[in-house]
């Protein structure tokens, strides 16, 4: 329960409601970082996606408010509250109506001391620390760059190191980290290229001619993507310079809790000191440890290959494996076989995953061999690779290992720190509380942090919020719950919140209900393909939450065209307390 997060609800034409609301918003204007005010005064808002209709819990007119109030007031233990407005704290503690709210605000504003604002998990700050920098960020990827720039904005003197250790196949790249160079950006562009190929297949049904025999030119696609990436690399360097962050294209290696050795590509060493450090070194693909494993490339190499991958054996069951396998097949670059040790996309809702896999097999022509691990890889005299798996051996042009990612702590010198950094035994990642590690002046964020999602937007937000806590007197921390995530497989998957399985584990089978819908998207309806595949949506609902909210949406999973875009709005709605109601009105219209 937080006494800093309040919700005020009433009907718009009620003057008492307007006074209470204005008092709360005025207080928020004075203490923007201290209080969070939610105003419940929207008009009834209907959001629909295919067969789903979602009604947000809201009130608009006096009658609607009065009709809603009796069912709600019980949930915040205010059975006798009969008027507009009603105000309560996060977690369901009742504050009162207009008079109680104004009295509460007055009390806060007239008190002599400032509201407490101790940032959580921040080491003591001495402005005359005498080190070279206030903050040194190690790693110029999504999280590190965001943190460094935000720290400067908040008055800190900052350096940011970024150094790319070449992959075992010799691939390297510029400033910006995994997402920009060998992750989200090239992956999404190649996925879009593959989707164009898919659209070309159905173009005839839409009256177009001339698309049928299209062929993708790998060299052109790769060069355009790499040019775009180089532009981004340059832009990041310019941004750092313009914003006053010292950029060091050097490998960082701790010599102590305030000292870092910075080593350039020629081995030249510079030593710098800082009051605080942020480790944002991300992760690298885990190498495949089988005889001949060294022949397998990884996602670090794929996007800059000098020739098209051709017939490809993808090893792995995670999103990188399925996305890469999906676009290689979709671009028509070669036959794709995916070897999956156990369940594909294991942590995602499995009913939804099934639609993604069916689509990949039936529409994408991809072979997915489940329960199989490769035993060895041989290089043949014709330049191809012979992969031995199960009881078979098969020739491929390329073997792509996508069996997971390992946090990049190698060469960071963490063994030189005065006390050990706490590392999680199985993930190998740094354990931290609100990004503060076991060494108080050293922080960690992004892919290197245990229990944080391996996603760019969350690394960016974590970096910004950390910088504000360290140098901007903010107390805001990131919540890693309910982060909308997209998987850019040929049929996209969008997901936010609990899978059905996880929801049952968390709340028990009787406490939840799932609503599913299988459908053919309109864009498939006039095409000659897509006969045997469908799209799918599942909503996981908590029948009654512990503060009495009925039918709270705690999970939403979509396998459909554009699911990656669709899910983002639902992510926001879920974080704002989305509830679910089946509307017979909408069903009648179908
Ligand atoms: C194929 C693929 C597709 C992806 N697609 C998506 C997607 O669609 N959406 C999404 O949100 N996320 C996606 N991701 C994940 C996303 O890229 C990462 O979550 C994100 O980049 C993590 O940011 P980070 O700041 O933690 O680390 P990174 O971006 O990895 O940056 C770390 C940087 O630190 C450098 N470094 C390491 N050690 C040192 C050292 N000692 N000294 C100096 N520099 C060092 C590294 O070279 C690197 O440049 C994808 C990842 C992959 C591999």
Substitution candidate for ligand 1 out of 281, 484, 568 with most atoms within 8 A of CB: 281
Instruction: Enumerate the β-bridge partners of residue 442.
Output: 277
What's the 2 CA to ligand 1 centre distance in angstroms? 34
**Cβ(484)–Cβ(466) below 8 Å:** no
Q: What is the pLDDT along the chain (590 residues), one digit of tens a residue?
A: 556 788 888 888 888 888 888 888 888 887 777 788 888 775 444 343 433 333 344 556 888 888 888 888 888 888 888 888 999 988 888 888 888 888 888 877 775 555 556 788 999 999 999 999 999 999 999 999 999 999 999 999 999 999 999 999 999 999 999 999 999 999 999 999 999 999 998 999 999 999 888 899 999 999 999 999 999 999 999 999 999 999 999 999 999 999 999 999 999 999 999 999 999 999 999 999 999 999 999 999 999 999 999 999 999 999 999 999 999 999 999 999 999 998 999 999 999 999 999 999 999 899 999 999 999 999 999 999 999 999 999 999 999 999 999 999 999 999 999 888 999 999 999 999 999 999 999 999 999 999 999 999 999 999 999 999 999 989 999 999 899 999 999 999 999 999 999 999 999 999 999 999 999 999 999 987 888 899 999 999 999 988 888 999 999 999 999 999 999 999 999 999 999 986 655 444 33
Substitution candidate for ligand 1 out of 184, 410, 571 with most atoms within 8 A of CB: 184
What's the angle, vertex CA 548, arms to CA 544 and CA 554, rounded to 5?
45
**Cβ(254)–Cβ(417) below 8 Å:** yes
**Cβ(538)–Cβ(554) below 8 Å:** no
pLDDT of residue 59: 53
CA 499 to CA 486: how far, in whole Å?
Answer: 14
Strand 251-256 and strand 259-263: pairing?
Answer: antiparallel
CA 271 to CA 264: how far, in whole Å?
Answer: 11
Ligand 1 nearest atom to the CA of residue 486, by list position? 8
CA distances from 237 to 160, 247, 501 (A): 11, 8, 44
Helix-helix angle 350-362:500-507, to 10 degrees? 170
CA distances from 165 to 202, 265, 300 (A): 43, 9, 11
pLDDT of residue 547: 81
What's the 286 CA to ligand 1 centre distance in angstroms? 14
Q: CB 568: neighbour CB atoms within 10 A?
A: 15
- Using CB distances shorter than 6 Å, the residues near ligand 1 are 138-144, 161-164, 177-179, 183-184, 187-188, 251-252, 280-282, 299, 320, 408, 411-412, 446-448, 454-457, 459
Chain position carrying tokens 């750092």: 240
Nearest CA to ligand 1 atom 5: 184
What's the 272 CA to ligand 1 centre distance in angstroms? 24
pTM above 0.85, yes or no: no
Instruction: Enumerate the β-bridge partners of residue 395.
Output: 386
Phi-psi region of 244 (alpha: psi -120 to 50; beta: other; left: phi over 0): left
pLDDT of residue 236: 98
- Nearest Cα neighbor of 401 from 411, 417, 409, 389 is 389
**Cβ(23)–Cβ(41) below 8 Å:** no
Ligand 1 nearest atom to the CA of residue 144, by list position? 25
**Cβ(138)–Cβ(144) below 8 Å:** yes
Q: DSSP letters along 551-563, please?
A: EEEEEEEEESTTH
Helix %, strand %, coil % of the chain (to 5): 35, 25, 40
Ligand 1 nearest atom to the CA of residue 299, by list position? 1
Ligand 1 nearest atom to the CA of residue 447, by list position? 26
What's the 97 CA to ligand 1 centre distance in angstroms? 49
**Cβ-proximal residues to 586 (8 Å cutoff; 6+ apart), any chain:** 46, 48, 53
Substitution candidate for ligand 1 out of 191, 327, 456, 571 with most atoms within 8 A of CB: 456
**Cβ-proximal residues to 387 (8 Å cutoff; 6+ apart), any chain:** 313, 339, 374, 376, 377, 393, 394, 395, 396, 399
What's the 103 CA to ligand 1 centre distance in angstroms? 50
Nearest CA to ligand 1 atom 15: 455
Nearest CA to ligand 1 atom 34: 139
Instruction: Enumerate the β-bridge partners of residue 485.
Output: 495
What's the 180 CA to ligand 1 centre distance in angstroms? 8
Cis preceding linkage at 568, omega within 30: no
What's the 580 CA to ligand 1 centre distance in angstroms? 36
CA 480 to CA 459: how far, in whole Å?
Answer: 10
Substitution candidate for ligand 1 out of 150, 178, 457 with most atoms within 8 A of CB: 178
What's the 281 CA to ligand 1 centre distance in angstroms? 7
Nearest CA to ligand 1 atom 6: 184
Chain position carrying tokens 């936010």: 496
Collapsing DSSP to helix, strand or coil, 194 comes out as helix
Nearest CA to ligand 1 atom 48: 177
pLDDT of residue 212: 81
Collapsing DSSP to helix, strand or coil, 537 comes out as strand
CA 458 to CA 338: how far, in whole Å?
Answer: 29
What's the 313 CA to ligand 1 centre distance in angstroms? 24
């Amino acid at each position: 329960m937080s006494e800093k997060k309040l919700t005020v609800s009433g009907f718009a034409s009620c003057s008492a409601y307007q006074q209470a609301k204005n008092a709360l918003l005025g207080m928020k204007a004075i203490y923007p970082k201290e209080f969070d005010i939610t105003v419940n005064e929207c008009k009834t808002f209907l959001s629909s996606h295919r067969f789903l209709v979602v009604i947000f819990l809201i009130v608009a007119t006096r009658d609607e408010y009065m009709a809603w109030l009796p069912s709600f007031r019980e949930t915040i233990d205010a059975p006798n509250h009969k008027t507009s407005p009603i105000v309560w704290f996060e977690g369901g503690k009742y504050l009162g109506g207009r008079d109680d709210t104004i009295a509460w605000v007055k009390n806060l504003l007239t008190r002599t001391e400032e509201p407490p604002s101790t940032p959580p998990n921040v080491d003591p700050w001495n402005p005359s620390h005498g080190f070279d920098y206030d903050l040194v960020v190690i790693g110029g990827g999504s999280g590190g760059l965001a943190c460094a720039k935000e720290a400067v904005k908040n008055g800190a003197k900052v350096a940011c190191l970024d150094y790319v250790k070449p992959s075992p196949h010799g691939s390297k790249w510029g400033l910006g980290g995994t997402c920009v160079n060998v992750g989200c950006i090239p992956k999404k562009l190649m996925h879009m290229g593959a989707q164009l190929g898919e659209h070309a297949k159905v173009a005839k049904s839409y009256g177009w001619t001339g698309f049928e025999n299209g062929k993708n030119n790998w060299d052109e696609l790769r060069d355009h993507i790499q040019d775009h990436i180089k532009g981004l690399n340059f832009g990041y360097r310019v941004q750092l310079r313009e914003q006053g962050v010292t950029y060091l294209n050097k490998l960082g290696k701790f010599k102590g809790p305030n000292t870092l050795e910075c080593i350039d590509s020629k081995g030249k060493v510079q030593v710098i000191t800082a009051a605080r450090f942020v480790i944002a070194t991300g992760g690298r693909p885990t190498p495949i440890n089988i005889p001949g494993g060294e022949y397998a490339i990884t996602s670090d190499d794929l996007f800059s290959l000098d020739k098209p991958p051709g017939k490809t054996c993808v090893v792995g069951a995670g999103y990188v494996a399925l996305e890469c396998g999906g676009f290689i097949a979709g671009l028509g670059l070669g036959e794709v076989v995916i070897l999956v040790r156990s369940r594909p996309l294991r942590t995602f809702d499995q009913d939804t995953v099934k639609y993604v896999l069916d689509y990949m097999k039936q529409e994408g022509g991809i072979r997915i061999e489940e329960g199989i691990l490769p035993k060895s890889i041989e290089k043949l005299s014709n330049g191809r690779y012979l992969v031995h798996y199960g009881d078979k051996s098969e020739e491929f042009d390329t073997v792509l290992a996508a069996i997971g990612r390992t946090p990049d702590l190698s060469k960071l010198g963490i063994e030189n720190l005065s006390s050990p950094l706490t590392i999680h035994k199985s993930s190998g990642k740094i354990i931290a509380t609100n990004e503060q590690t076991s060494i108080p002046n050293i922080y960690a964020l992004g892919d290197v942090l245990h229990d944080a999602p391996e996603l760019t937007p969350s690394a960016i937000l974590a970096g910004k919020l950390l910088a504000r806590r360290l140098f901007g007197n903010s107390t805001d921390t990131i919540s890693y719950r309910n982060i909308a995530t997209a998987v850019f497989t040929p049929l996209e998957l969008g997901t936010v919140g609990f899978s059905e399985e996880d929801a049952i584990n968390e709340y028990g089978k009787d406490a939840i209900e799932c609503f599913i819908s299988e459908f053919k998207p309109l864009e498939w309806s006039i095409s000659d393909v897509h006969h045997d595949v469908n799209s799918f949506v599942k909503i996981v609902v908590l029948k009654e939450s512990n503060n009495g909210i009925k039918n709270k949406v705690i999970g939403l999973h979509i396998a459909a065209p554009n699911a990656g875009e669709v899910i983002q709005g639902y992510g926001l709605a879920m974080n704002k307390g989305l509830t679910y109601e089946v509307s017979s009105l909408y069903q009648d219209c179908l």
